[in-house]
Chain A
Amino acid sequence: MKKIFLFLMVGLLLAGTVNAQDEGTKSTFGYKPSSYYSFGWNTLWSIGDFNKWIGNGSPAGFNLGGRYFISGSNFAAGFNIQWQRVWQDYPAQTFYGDNGLALTAMNYRFTWMVPFQAAIDYYFMPSKMISPYISLGIGGDYMEHHLLIQEYDIYKTYWDFSLTPEIGAIIKFGAFSNWGANVAFNYKWTTNKIDFSNGTSFKNLQMLQLRVGLCYFLR
């Protein structure tokens, strides 16, 4: 077993050396990708006013991203497309409508969102197996806020402007592997709002998000 491990390590090191020499090279071990694509599982926690609408965190989301390294720099530009849902049920509340209408019932709320953002990242060690980065995403979100009361589904839809500062890391599975992982944590501020006739009104929805996913690197 030890022999096999040793053989693999030596092989890996030799392969790395040869590859590095071939690329003629900024790094003695590893490579800087020209671009990469990522697909991740996203968990969201609402904060601020958004937390008053739905207090639960939600793991029901995923993210698709792409990054293209700017030649000769540690910067990369790209995009993020996301899909996310948060939900919670609440005990009986009274909602007042027009024309003398009132309804008291438990209610079930959910928000469904599809953000589209452009992003600019700075990678501290893009050639290494583990490269931390900082990022800023700028874009918009489509959100639907649903209030379900018995068979009624009352909902509002809004587009917004959003900003997402992020910290994270890309982790190659091997020095020259095309595959890797992505871990990221971000704060998101939006101009999105929630307003229903029962007085429920929240502005500038904010959230924290954790993303874990896979990356495919192109050289």
Chain B
Amino acid sequence: MKLLKLSFIALGILAMASCSKYPTASSRLLEDLAVLTQYDVNTNFGLYKTYSIVDSIYYITGKDSSMVLTPDAKAVLNQIIGNMNARGFKKVAKSAKPDLGINVAAIKTTTVTVYYPGWYWGYPGYYPAGWWGYGSSYYYPYYPTYYSSYSAGTLVIEMVNFKEVTDNGQVPVVWDVFIRGLLTGTHTTSDVTGSIDQAFTQTPAIKTNLP
């Protein structure tokens, strides 16, 4: 009888243990790097040839921000340049009136729990549209996908289109890249540069048709 009771208790425990609909989420869900990209499907990237990129990475930690050009930051910028060149685009100086511009920011952590793409535009020092010599602000020509938390460490790459500045001076962001998970798990510089390659791989539309 005792064995019977024990069997019942054991079965009950097993049943209760399996009662939760959601299994314990794998920690790798947040540790592994994730690459989220979104581009404006109405932009024909084949019509553009030249681009310019910022010369350092805008680094946001909490309420502070700064410009950094560490070896890791250089590796990130060079990887973006390499991919753009491989897609047929030509890098030019900001003063040469490029067709496209590329902003890069790294976000360590923020005090906000809800994040919408573009909130970092308000940080002092972030490359404003005026820094490029065009318009007064940015906008998304599509409804952007957002993350609800930014504590994982994120690299943000944004491509802006200077050929479609609106009459009221807004510059469209035609490609958004979020590489997330920099501060979770252990990641090397090559993991991050590999993720930049992946961002281009999953966006084949970014390619020029011009010679």
On chain B, the residues within 8 Å of A214 by CB distance are 4, 7-8, 11
Query: B36 contacts the other chain (Cβ, under 8 Å)?
Result: yes
B78-107 vs A: 1/0 string, CB under 8 Å? Answer: 000000000000000000000000000000
Chain A residues closer than 8 Å to B147, beta-carbon distance: 151
Report the interface size for chain B: residues with CB under 8 A from the other chain: 41
Interface of A is mostly: strand
Q: Contacts A108-B29, A214-B7, A214-B8 hold; do A103 and B34 have CB atoms under 8 A apart?
A: yes
Residue of chain A at shortest CB distance from B149: A151
How far apart sit A85 and B26, CA to CA, in the bound complex (Å)?
Answer: 15
A49 part of interface (Cβ distance < 8 Å): no
Is B39 interfacial (CB-CB < 8 Å)? yes
User: Assuming A104-B34, A214-B8, A214-B11, is B29 touching A148 (CB within 8 A)?
Assistant: yes
How far is the CB of A75 from the nearest CB of chain B, in Å?
27
Contact A85 B34 (CB under 8 A): no
Q: In whole angstroms, what is the CA distance A214 to B4 when docked?
A: 9
Within 8 A of B (CB), among A89-129: 89, 92, 94, 96-97, 99-106, 108, 110, 112
User: Is the Cβ of A106 less than 8 Å from the Cβ of B14?
Assistant: no
In angstroms, Cα B23 to Cα A112, docked, is 10
Across the interface, which residues of A come within 8 angstroms of B26, CB to CB? 89, 106, 108
Q: A89-B26, A108-B25 are in contact. Are A83 and B11 (CB under 8 A)?
A: no
CA distance A146 to B11 in the complex (A): 27
Contact A105-B35, Cβ < 8 Å, known A89-B28, A150-B180 = yes
A102 cross-chain contacts in B, Cβ below 8 A:
36-38, 202-203
Is B40 interfacial (CB 8 A cutoff)?
Answer: yes
Asked if A173 CB lies within 8 Å of chain B CBs, one says yes
Task: Assess whether A189 is interfacial by the CB under 8 Å rule.
Answer: no
In whole angstroms, how far apart are the Cα atoms of A83 and B21 in the complex? Answer: 9
Which of B32, B40, B181 is close to A100, meaning CB atoms less than 8 Å apart?
Answer: B40
- Residue pair B38, A148 in contact (C-beta under 8 Å): no
List residues of B whose CB falls within 8 A of some A CB. Answer: 4, 7-8, 11, 14-15, 17-23, 25-26, 28-30, 32-41, 142-143, 145, 147-149, 180-181, 195, 198, 202-203, 205
